[in-house]
Chains A and B, each alone.
Chain A
């Protein structure tokens, strides 16, 4: 079945550590996105990529980094520079210029301990 897989589902990070969240899709979608969701709030765009080897900052890119070496994969690294990383992270994809909405993964809940 086609879809987006995020892993792990739950992730715990110590203060000062970098962690990487995985996002893989087999939908042959060109564009991929990372969102952050905090309780009671909407989705805020972190980074997006419309093509391999290219990506753009979203509204809250500080403290995060991404790569897009393969069409299928768009990993997100939460660096130690991100002061408040505890949140629910959602990855999404769609066809380039596609207007039929995003397909979302099931999310990764990151907690700083």
Chain B
């Protein structure tokens, strides 16, 4: 089946790097995504990576994909208070290009 799993909480000190991890089960996933949700708001697409890529960098964000282990991570460099949010990992399964499967989200909190 298709499943995406993430840890529920992560706490980091302001200025440190945050690493949010995700595992998925569908080896034929085509695209993988990271979304950010601030309190009371919808989800905002942060970045996505195609399954034939290992890494993608966009300013403070680095996405690493280990396709063999079906592991996706999001690294946020120099974490700021504005990065406090819930981060969702998601995938487009190989069986259906029209649906996206979401993880349960990781709540990132920032310590001063």
By a beta-carbon cutoff of 8 Å, the part of chain A in contact with chain B is 4, 6, 31, 35, 40-43, 45, 48, 50, 90, 92, 96-97, 99-107, 109
Contacts and interface: CB of A to CB of B under 8 A. Distances in A.
Contact-size category for B:
20 to 34
A50 B35 CA distance: 22
A107 B41 contact: yes
Contacts of B48: 99-101
Contacts of B45: 101-103
A104 B88 contact: no
A48 B100 CA distance: 11
23 contacts: A6-B42, A31-B98, A35-B102, A40-B8, A41-B104, A42-B102, A90-B43, A92-B43, A97-B97, A97-B98, A99-B48, A100-B48, A101-B33, A101-B35, A101-B48, A102-B100, A104-B42, A104-B43, A104-B44, A106-B41, A106-B42, A107-B41, A107-B42
Given A99-B92, A100-B48, A101-B48, A43 B102 contact: yes
B88 A42 contact: yes
Contacts of B104: 40-42
Contacts of A43: 43, 88, 102
B40 interface: yes
B90 to A, nearest CB: 8
A7 to B, nearest CB: 13
Given A31-B98, A42-B104, 4 more contacts: A45-B99, A97-B97, A97-B98, A104-B44
Interface in B12-57: 30-31, 33, 35, 40-45, 48
A109 B40 CA distance: 8
Nearest to A58: B99
Contacts of A96: 98
A31 B96 CA distance: 13
A92 B90 CA distance: 14
Interface string B54-91: 00000000000000000000000000000000001010
Contacts of B42: 4, 6, 90, 92, 104-107
